[in-house]
């Protein structure tokens, strides 16, 4: 393994310039142990290697995704698989945000066009895209159905306390489980296989840990909605055809093993 010579290492000011950050920020990252330069010059100045620059790139990317400095360190030091899952989850969140933003822009453009007299507002299209803007469109329905249950109350209490980093982790876990189940489905692995049942149990524990106490029996009841409610079914079918039924079967098989 080759090491860089001092001549190829970069000073803190050089790194600040090429990375478009301040020297103060680099000092702060160093003090927090987030980005400690690999080398020091004879005079004691910080010197950054290529690997340090790669780590800085990851830090700045995660900062753009609204991760806190406290969360970035463990994430960067995690395995490549965990880091990949977290970034894929963040990408999904960004795509969802882009969809809502585009929907809002379409609504604004339609309103501007009508105000300018370019075209009359089509009543059928007045609220087109609003379904993408509304992130809580099931909240009222959920409260009507389960508002008096202990599970609903626990879920509301827990989720109100979660930070952006918590939600990113929750989303990453959820994405990893669903992606794993979809991969098993597309690979022809039975929904009652050990692999699928294990992921179903991970799904139950995910709900139990982040939302509300979820027994195997409750988990089965929840999975019934995946095929009975078109909205849940659509959520799974977007990832892989037949996934809603596959997940339901895996969850039922898991409950039978308890």
DSSP string, the chain: -----GGGSEEHHHHHHHHT--HHHHHHHHHTTSS--SEE-TT--EEE-HHHHHHHHHHHHHHHTT--HHHHHHHHHS-HHHHHHHHHHHHHHHHHHHHHHHHHHHHHHHHHHHHHTSSPPPGGGTTTTHHHH-TTTTHHHHHHHHTTSHHHHHHHHHHHT--HHHHHHHHHHHHHHHHHHHHHHHTT--TTSHHHHHHHHHHHHHHHHHTS---HHHHHHHHHHHHHSHHHHHHHHTTSTTHHHHHHHHHHHHHHH-
Separation of alpha carbons 179 and 173, rounded Å: 10
At residue 163, the pLDDT reads 83
Kindly provide the b/e burial profile for residues 178-202, where b requires at least 16 CB atoms within 10 angstroms of the residue's own CB: bbbbbebbeeeeebeeebbbebbbe
- Digit-by-digit pLDDT tens for the chain (258 residues) are 445 666 689 999 999 999 999 999 999 999 999 999 999 998 999 999 999 999 999 899 888 877 778 878 887 887 665 667 666 766 776 776 677 677 777 777 777 777 777 666 565 555 555 554 444 444 444 444 444 556 556 777 787 788 878 888 888 888 889 999 999 999 999 999 999 999 999 999 998 899 888 889 888 988 888 888 887 888 888 889 999 999 999 999 999 986
Q: Return the HEC string of 124-193.
A: HHCCCCHHHHCCCCCHHHHHHHHCCCHHHHHHHHHHHCCCHHHHHHHHHHHHHHHHHHHHHHHCCCCCCC
Domain ranges across the chain = 9-77, 79-135, 136-258
At residue 191, the pLDDT reads 96
Of 183, 200, 206, the C-alpha closest to 247 is: 200
The CATH architecture to which 9-77 belongs is Orthogonal Bundle (1.10)
At residue 142, the pLDDT reads 42
Residues 193 and 254 sit within 8 Å (Cβ to Cβ): no
Fold of 136-258: Globin-like (1.10.490)
At residue 125, the pLDDT reads 56
């Amino acid at each position: 393994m080759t090491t860089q010579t001092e001549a190829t290492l970069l000073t803190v000011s050089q790194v600040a310039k090429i990375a478009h950050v301040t020297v103060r920020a680099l000092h702060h990252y160093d003090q927090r142990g987030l980005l400690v330069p690999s080398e020091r010059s004879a005079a004691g100045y910080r010197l950054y290697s290529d690997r340090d620059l790669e780590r800085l790139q990851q830090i700045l990317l995660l900062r753009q995704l609204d991760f806190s400095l406290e969360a970035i360190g463990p994430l960067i030091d995690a395995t490549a698989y965990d880091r990949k899952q977290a970034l894929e989850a963040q990408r999904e969140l960004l795509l969802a945000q882009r969809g809502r933003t585009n929907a809002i822009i379409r609504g604004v453009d339609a309103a501007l066009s009508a105000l300018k007299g370019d075209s009359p507002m089509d009543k059928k299209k007045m609220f087109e895209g609003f379904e993408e803007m509304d992130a809580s469109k099931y909240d009222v329905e959920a409260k009507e159905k389960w508002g008096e249950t202990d599970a609903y109350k626990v879920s509301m209490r827990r989720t109100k306390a979660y930070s952006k980093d918590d939600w990113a982790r929750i989303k990453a876990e959820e994405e990893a489980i669903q992606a794993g189940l979809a991969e098993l489905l597309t690979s022809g692995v039975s929904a009652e296989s050990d692999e699928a049942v294990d992921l179903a149990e991970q799904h139950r524990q995910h709900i139990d840990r982040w939302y509300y106490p979820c027994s195997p029996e409750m988990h089965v009841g929840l999975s019934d909605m995946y095929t009975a409610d078109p909205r849940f079914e659509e959520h799974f079918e977007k990832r892989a055809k037949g996934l809603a039924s596959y997940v339901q079967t895996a969850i039922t098989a898991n409950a039978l093993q308890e």
